[in-house]
Structure 1
Amino acid sequence: MPGSVRIEGYAIASADGMIADASGFMPDSLKFEADQRFLSDALDRVQVVCHGRLSHEGHPESHARRRLILTRRVSDLAPDPDNRNTCLWNPAGATLEEACAAVDFAGGTLAIAGGTEVFSLFLKIGYDIFYLARAEQVRLPGGVPVFCQGRFGQSPEDVLRDAGLKPTESRWLDNELSLVKWTA
């Protein structure tokens, strides 16, 4: 990629490694003010946010952020008719470099905000940092895992470790939510 690009992932998962319930949506039990504040502050510092069509941080200024939305509904790249700051991207038809150029991103930080397929795609591309928040009191049986490997019982931590990342910092965002920073 041209310029210096840093790739950071952001996920909150239940105790059983899920980012959404069986219906595919994040339940209120997995929404924490401390996590939403952490994510919002982080996204305010990045140049582009990348996520799937169902993932969205839903903050008041979300529409103003440059973003790439991964979808199979386009063959390669297409402007989002609903948001001039957004480009729809099908990785099967266009490279990451082409997608970044479509949103005028030549360097800085690219934040990956989910879902499963997007998090998994960037495992192959390579994360510089992955922030994994855990809500240990929440369980979502039959839910949607952070990474594709979660469908086969692998924990998000094991997937990150297998991808060559290491836990370097941990802290509590509040009394119910831990956060671990994984780095390459």
Structure 2
Amino acid sequence: MTTKRPRIEGFAVVSREGMIAGSDSSFPEVLKIPADQEFYQASLDRASAIANGRHSAEGGPKEAARRRIVLTRRVQRLMPDPKNAKAVLWNPATAPFDEAWQRLGVEDGMLAVVGGTDVFGLFLNIGYDAFHLTCAKASVPRGRPVFPGVGKGTTPADVLTKHGLVLCSSRVLDAETDTVLEEWGPKG
């Protein structure tokens, strides 16, 4: 069976500092914006599979039913997730992405990348077809950035631009909280 490379889309909500989690790695209450959660869950419903780190997942009632690639340094080879029959454990240092995708057994479609920091960063190099960046005005001053290198004057937009992505569109997602959804994609 030859599998086609999926469309790769990233999904993240960030604080005004570019953080996706607090300093304790928990998801901050200030980033739980109902309009974003609605967009996010609807987007994941379109996905053929999810990619997340060992400590990340999308939450919600459909989480256990979704096919997924769990990125972890704790395995030396691709293997089924002993806790989830719909998932494979993948160490990017020991196998290429295409092999992990093929092992998942999904023919094609969209892979939704949902974090954390290192996972979002890895897929910058693999190549996003789209990155959906929800920008909240809420503050999470000391936390985990969406991408490696964000902080100290470097924004998520700077990192996306450095990796060849351009802002394709933006819209207000929630007027009350002044939350904006940006869609980034490859140049051209």
Question: For the superposition of Structure 1 and Structure 2, which TM-score range results when normalised by the shorter chain?
Answer: over 0.9
Question: Structure 1 unaligned runs (5+)?
Answer: none
The answer (yes or no) to whether the contact 1:166–1:182 under 8 Å persists in 2 is yes
Whole-angstrom distance in 2 between the partners of 1:126 and 1:179:
20
Give the TM-score taking structure 1 as reference length: 0.95
Percentage of pairs with the same residue? 46
Counterparts of 1:85-124 in structure 2, within 5 Å, are: 85-124=86-125
Secondary structure at the aligned position of 2:118 is classed as helix
Secondary structure at the aligned position of 2:125 is classed as helix
The answer to whether the aligner puts 1:145 opposite 2:145 as a matched pair is yes
The answer (yes or no) to whether the contact 2:79–2:88 under 8 Å persists in 1 is yes
Closer/same/farther in 2, CA of residues 50 and 128 from structure 1, 3 Å limit: same
Counterparts of 1:18-167 in structure 2, within 5 Å, are: 18-136=19-137, 138-167=138-167
Report the alpha carbon displacement of residue 4 of structure 1 after superposing the two structures with TM.
4.5
Give 4+ residue runs of structure 1 displaced > 2 Å after superposition.
none
Aligned partner of 1:13: which letter?
V
The Cα offsets for residues 163-183 of structure 1, whole Å up to 9 and x where unpaired, read as 111111111111221100001
Aligned partner of 1:178: which letter?
V
**Which residue in the other structure is 1:172 paired with?**
172
Whole-angstrom distance in 2 between the partners of 1:71 and 1:25:
18
The answer (yes or no) to whether the contact 1:76–1:92 under 8 Å persists in 2 is no
Question: Structure 2 unaligned runs (5+)?
Answer: none
Q: How many aligned positions are there?
A: 183
CA RMSD of aligned residues (A): 1.3
Whole-angstrom distance in 1 between the partners of 2:73 and 2:35:
33
Closer/same/farther in 2, CA of residues 4 and 97 from structure 1, 3 Å limit: closer
